[in-house]
């Protein structure tokens, strides 16, 4: 009986030990992304919520950003799946610029409510291009100093940009500058490749969370 109880306690302790941490998905929906590519991106996120099993033990935050950020959910993988599946894609002209600075300000506001450690997962197809873009790196620096945080990025090359062109290299370099806490940057050559890149990225992030 004592051995049985000890085994149960070990299983429970292992389960609760793994049920920690938060992934914040910061999703670019700016006007540079076509309707077709936006649908691919959202479907990729939704599929990952169901296919990456370890996400089930994490809190998941979904925030989109273009001209203004929008917090869609703070919940679990099912909540994230639902908001990605239900998201209404509008024409690019109605979305606006890539205002990453505003989005990061909103992330900074909700950070005290999130369970640590935290992964901030930023994806997009271009640089921050609003008037407050100068705030991007200072905010990330503050978050890194204050929280048990890793910032990882995924740059997706738009079909409008030639691979390995100067602009492609510039955008990829920008996403590298966002990395904090020993994180990493990945690149998807097109939105057709986004789901595989996202799956790999989430797998690495979850490993980091479970080893904190």
pTM over 0.75: yes
Q: At what angle do helices 77-86 and 35-51 cross, to 10 degrees?
A: 160
Which pLDDT band holds residue 19 (cuts at 50, 70, 90)? Answer: low
Token reading at 69 = 């950020």
Percent share of the chain, pLDDT over 70: 91
Residue 165, pLDDT above cutoff 50: yes
Residue 5, pLDDT above cutoff 50: no
From CA 78, how far away is CA 46, in angstroms rounded? 9
Q: Which of 43-57, 96-110, 158-172 has the lowest mean pLDDT?
A: 158-172
């Amino acid at each position: 009986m004592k051995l049985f109880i000890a085994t149960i306690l070990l299983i429970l302790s292992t389960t609760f030990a793994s049920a920690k941490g938060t992934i914040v998905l910061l999703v670019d929906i700016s006007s540079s992304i076509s309707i077709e590519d936006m649908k691919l991106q959202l479907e990729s996120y939704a599929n990952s919520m169901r296919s990456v099993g370890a996400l089930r033990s994490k809190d998941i935050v979904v925030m989109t950003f273009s001209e203004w950020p929008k917090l869609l959910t703070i919940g679990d993988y099912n909540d994230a799946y639902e908001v990605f599946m239900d998201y209404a894609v509008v024409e690019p002209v109605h979305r606006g610029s890539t205002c990453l600075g505003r989005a990061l300000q909103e992330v900074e506001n909700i950070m005290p409510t999130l369970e640590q450690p935290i992964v901030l997962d930023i994806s997009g197809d271009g640089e921050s291009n609003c008037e407050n873009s100068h705030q991007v790196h200072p905010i990330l620096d503050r978050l890194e100093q204050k929280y048990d945080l890793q910032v990882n990025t995924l740059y997706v090359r738009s079909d409008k940009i030639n691979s390995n062109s100067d602009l492609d290299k510039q955008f990829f370099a920008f996403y590298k500058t966002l990395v904090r806490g020993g994180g990493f940057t990945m690149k998807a050559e097109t939105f057709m490749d986004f789901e595989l890149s996202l799956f790999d990225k989430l797998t690495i992030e979850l490993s980091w969370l479970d080893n904190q």
